Amino acid sequence: MSEVLARWNRLPSKEAAEEVLPCCGSNSWAEKMAAQRPIADETALLAACDMACTGLVASDWLEAFRSHPRIGESISASNSARSAAWSREEQRGAESKDDDMKTMMTESNRTYEERFGRTFIICATGKSSVEILDSLRRRLRNGDSAEFYEAAEQQRQITHLRLKKWLSA
């Protein structure tokens, strides 16, 4: 068992939930994670994450979505310092020096927010600004339900990556 998990397993529930909250942004998810302790290893942690995700309702997902900055930005109104640092790292490939690309990304983000009422969520790690913009434009064609499901799946993927980073910290 990693030192991080061993220490986390011993924390009081509230503190344990607060510690993993930056990995997802949903208080309900963090509480569900803390309730599944003790967790032995990374494989069990990721399985616990998936289990916690299956129990989330729409308002929990929306809370998680609000913890993310727009693509191309590094701070959202509700993210922690750890979450902000992870967002910057995750979006590194989305950075573009091309002013036209920046404008298209800004306009597409605005269109998405007007259409769906929330920030565009994508697991941006390893993706270029062109790939992200293509995904954003493609997902603008989704219906509300399909897009909510897609955003939740992207959030789950982001959470997995962040849990792995948390374990290695």
Lowest mean pLDDT, pick from 9-13, 40-44, 122-126:
122-126
pLDDT exceeds cutoff 80 at 90: no
Tokens of 71: 């693509």
Residue ranges covered by each domain of the chain: 3-168
Cα angle 150-152-155, degrees, rounded to a multiple of 5:
110
pLDDT of residue 40: 96
pLDDT exceeds cutoff 80 at 98: no
CATH level 3 topology of 3-168: UraD-like (1.10.3330)
What gap in Å lies between CA 2 and CA 109, rounded to an integer? 39
What is the DSSP-derived secondary structure letter of residue 127? -
What gap in Å lies between CA 2 and CA 169, rounded to an integer? 11
Q: How far is CA 94 from CA 17, 25, 62, 83, in A?
A: 30, 21, 23, 17
pLDDT of residue 69: 81
The sign one gets for the Cα dihedral 96, 22, 7, 43 is negative
pLDDT of residue 74: 55
Q: Residue 32's pLDDT band (boundaries 50, 70, 90)?
A: very high
Check if the beta carbon of residue 102 is closer than 8 Å to that of residue 72. yes
Q: Residue 96's pLDDT band (boundaries 50, 70, 90)?
A: low
**Residue from 79, 34, 50, 56 nearest 156 by CA:** 50
Prior bond of 38 cis (ω within 30°): yes
Q: Residue 79's pLDDT band (boundaries 50, 70, 90)?
A: low
**Secondary structure, 3-state, 2-49:** CHHHHHHHHCCHHHHHHHHHHHHCCHHHHHHHHHCCCCCCHHHHHHHH
Residue of 19, 49, 61, 68 marked catalytic: 68
User: Does residue 68 have an active-site annotation?
Assistant: yes
pLDDT of residue 31: 98
What gap in Å lies between CA 26 and CA 85, rounded to an integer? 18
Write the pLDDT tens digit of every residue in 103-134.
Answer: 999 999 999 999 999 999 999 888 988 999 99
